A and B are shown apart, each in its own frame.
Chain A
Amino acid sequence: DTAVSQTPKYLVTQMGNDKSIKCEQNLGHDTMYWYKQDSKKFLKIMFSYNNKELIINETVPNRFSPKSPDKAHLNLHINSLELGDSAVYFCASSQEVAGQWTGELFFGEGSRLTVL
Chain B
Amino acid sequence: RKEVEQDPGPFNVPEGATVAFNCTYSNSASQSFFWYRQDCRKEPKLLMSVYSSGNEDGRFTAQLNRASQYISLLIRDSKLSDSATYLCVVILDTGRRALTFGSGTRLQVQP
Contacts and interface: CB of A to CB of B under 8 A. Distances in A.
Nearest to A91: B43
B73 interface: no
Given A56-B96, A56-B98, A107-B45, A42 B103 contact: yes
B96 A103 contact: no
Contact of B34 (A40, A44, A58, A103): A103
A48 to B, nearest CB: 6
A94 interface: yes
Main secondary structure of the interface of B (DSSP, over half): strand
A41 B97 contact: no
Interface string B92-108: 00101111110110000
Contact of B99 (A40, A45, A109, A110): A45
B45 A103 contact: no
Contact of B42 (A45, A55, A109): A109
B46 A105 contact: yes
A45 B91 contact: no
Nearest to B8: A41
Contacts of B101: 42-44
Contacts, number: 51
Interface of B: 32, 34, 42-46, 49, 85, 87, 89, 91, 94, 96-101, 103-104
Given A55-B97, A101-B94, A101-B97, 17 more contacts: A42-B101, A42-B103, A45-B98, A45-B99, A48-B96, A48-B98, A50-B97, A58-B98, A90-B43, A103-B32, A103-B34, A103-B91, A103-B94, A105-B46, A108-B43, A109-B42, A110-B42
29 contacts: A31-B97, A40-B103, A41-B85, A41-B103, A41-B104, A42-B101, A43-B101, A45-B100, A48-B96, A48-B97, A48-B98, A55-B96, A55-B97, A56-B96, A56-B97, A56-B98, A94-B97, A103-B32, A103-B46, A103-B89, A103-B94, A104-B34, A105-B44, A105-B46, A107-B44, A107-B45, A109-B42, A109-B43, A110-B43
